[in-house]
């Protein structure tokens, strides 16, 4: 509210005149109070309107900031979700790789052979040697004994007999080797030990028989060598040393023939010896069983190393490379995820510190309610101002009427209460009633226009 000088507007002069005239002071005091209150209410209304405009602008700015921040936040959330999904997929792939790797390592540990690779190769060489020996025996002896003259047929028969070791291998694996290594029960151990004991005894007996047969063959060979030497000596004695011509001696011829018959008999005795029969039979059986046992021990060892080195290890190597590649790809994803999380936190904090729209709406509603209350108060103060202005003028008129004489009153009435004057006064009153709306065109504030209209009317009355 604009502060005014007490004498501005003629308040002092008006009070002085009213005091001289003896007019009740309360009427004009009420007018002044209503007028001042009206000015103060107008100032408050303007202030509240400015506050309302500021709140509306702030609300619009907050809405714009909220929209911008939410748009950025949604972009960050989408980027965060995409990065998190990629990281989650990568972590899932790594977990699957780790699971497969652990499974392969467990399989690799379970496939560890009982023997070293060198032992497996030795067993394999022994098995091949036994099969080759059985093959030779079958080809040289059995084919000849069965009178198989065709070479291809003889080799086919010999190979078939030698493959008995391959046939015996599954039986040995299932009955002896696998139960011993997997179950390790007392029954499996006793079976394995019994088989090894029987096989060892059989091998020792076979070796003894073969040794005896080799001795018989060696003795026969030496006897035949001695017979051959005696035959050569007899043949040398059957030649005349002077002429070099053969001597026809029946006695020498008989001795030579007898020596040859003895040599043939030695061959027959060696061939028909039961030691020869047992040696060939037992060696064939031993070679077949030993070949099966050797292959049964060698092939699982080689299979274990084959499975570990050529199947599991390459898979583990590929899985390690794949895991390293995924981890390398996750590094930028982790950085992106961290950046999105940081921006998301910043935007959420910015949104949190922004003025709440609901609070701004409540403040706007509160200011509007205050403006409505002030408008009602302004209306009341304006009404009081005009009523008190009218009362003050009415009091002045009564005083003037009381001091007039009859002649003065008749003269005033004849000059003022004519038809033309009444029309002019009605027009003047209407103009005064419209003084407030016209004040906007003249640039005067409403209370100033009302005050000016009242002062003009007082001047007219006093004049």
pLDDT in tens, 154-207: 777 777 777 777 767 777 777 777 676 676 677 777 777 787 788 788 888 888
Does a structural domain hold residue 126?
yes
Does a structural domain hold residue 177?
yes
Q: Which is it for the CA torsion 315, 317, 320, 325, positive or negative? A: negative
Does a structural domain hold residue 143?
yes
Does a structural domain hold residue 60?
no
Question: How do the residues of the chain divide into helix, strand and coil, expressed in percent and rounded to 5?
Answer: 90, 0, 10
| Residue 394 confidence (pLDDT) above 80 | no
What's the whole-model pTM score?
0.50
Q: What is the pLDDT of residue 440?
A: 38
Q: Which helix (H) or strand (E) holds 253?
A: helix 250-271
Does a structural domain hold residue 359?
no
Does a structural domain hold residue 306?
yes
Count up the domains in the chain and report the number.
Answer: 1
Does a structural domain hold residue 193?
yes
Residue range 290-344, pLDDT digits in tens: 887 888 788 888 888 888 888 888 999 999 999 999 989 888 888 888 888 888 8
Stretch 117-137: mean pLDDT? 83
Residue-number span of the structural domain to which 171 is assigned: 112-228+283-329
Does a structural domain hold residue 317?
yes
């Amino acid at each position: 509210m604009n502060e005014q000088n007490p004498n501005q507007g003629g308040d002092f002069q008006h009070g002085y005149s009213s005091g001289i005239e003896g007019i009740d002071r309360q009427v004009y005091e009420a007018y002044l109070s209503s007028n001042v209150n009206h000015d103060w209410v107008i100032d408050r209304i303007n202030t509240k309107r400015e506050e309302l405009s500021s709140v509306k602008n702030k609300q619009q700015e907050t809405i714009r900031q909220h929209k911008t921040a939410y748009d950025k936040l949604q972009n960050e959330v989408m980027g965060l979700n995409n990065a998190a999904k990629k990281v989650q997929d990568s972590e899932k792939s790594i977990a699957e790789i780790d699971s497969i790797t652990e499974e392969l390592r467990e399989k690799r540990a379970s496939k560890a052979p009982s023997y070293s690779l060198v032992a497996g190769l030795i067993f394999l060489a022994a098995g091949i040697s036994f099969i080759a020996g059985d093959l030779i025996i079958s080809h040289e002896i059995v084919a000849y004994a069965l009178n198989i003259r065709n070479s291809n047929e003889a080799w086919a028969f010999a190979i078939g007999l030698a493959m008995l070791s391959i046939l015996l291998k599954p039986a040995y694996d299932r009955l002896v080797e696998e139960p011993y290594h997997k179950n390790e029960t007392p029954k499996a151990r006793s079976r394995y030990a019994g088989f090894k004991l029987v096989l060892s005894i059989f091998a020792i007996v076979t070796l003894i028989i073969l040794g005896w047969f080799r001795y018989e063959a060696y003795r026969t060979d030496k006897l035949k060598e001695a017979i051959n030497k005696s035959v050569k000596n007899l043949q040398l004695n059957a030649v005349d040393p002077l002429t070099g011509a053969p001597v026809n001696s029946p006695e020498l011829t008989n001795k030579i023939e007898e020596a040859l018959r003895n040599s043939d008999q030695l061959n027959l005795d060696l061939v028909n010896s039961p030691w020869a029969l047992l040696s060939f039979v037992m060696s064939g059986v031993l070679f077949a069983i030993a070949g099966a046992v050797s292959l049964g021990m060698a092939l699982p060892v080689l299979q274990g190393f084959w499975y570990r080195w050529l199947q599991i290890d390459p898979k583990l190597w590929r899985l390690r490379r794949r895991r390293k590649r995924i981890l390398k790809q996750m590094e930028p994803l982790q950085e992106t995820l961290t950046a999105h999380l940081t921006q998301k936190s910043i935007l959420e904090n910015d949104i949190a510190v922004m003025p709440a729209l609901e609070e701004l709406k409540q403040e706007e509603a509160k200011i509007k309610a205050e403006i409505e209350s002030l408008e009602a108060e302004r209306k009341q103060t304006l009404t009081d101002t005009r009523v008190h202005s009218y009362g003050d003028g009415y009091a002045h008129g009564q005083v003037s009427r009381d001091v007039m004489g009859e002649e003065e009153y008749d003269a005033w009435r004849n000059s003022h209460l004519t038809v033309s004057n009444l029309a002019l006064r009605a027009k003047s009153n209407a103009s005064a009633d419209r003084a407030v709306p016209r004040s906007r065109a003249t640039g005067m504030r409403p209370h100033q226009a009302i005050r000016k209209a009242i002062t003009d009317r007082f001047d007219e009355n006093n004049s």
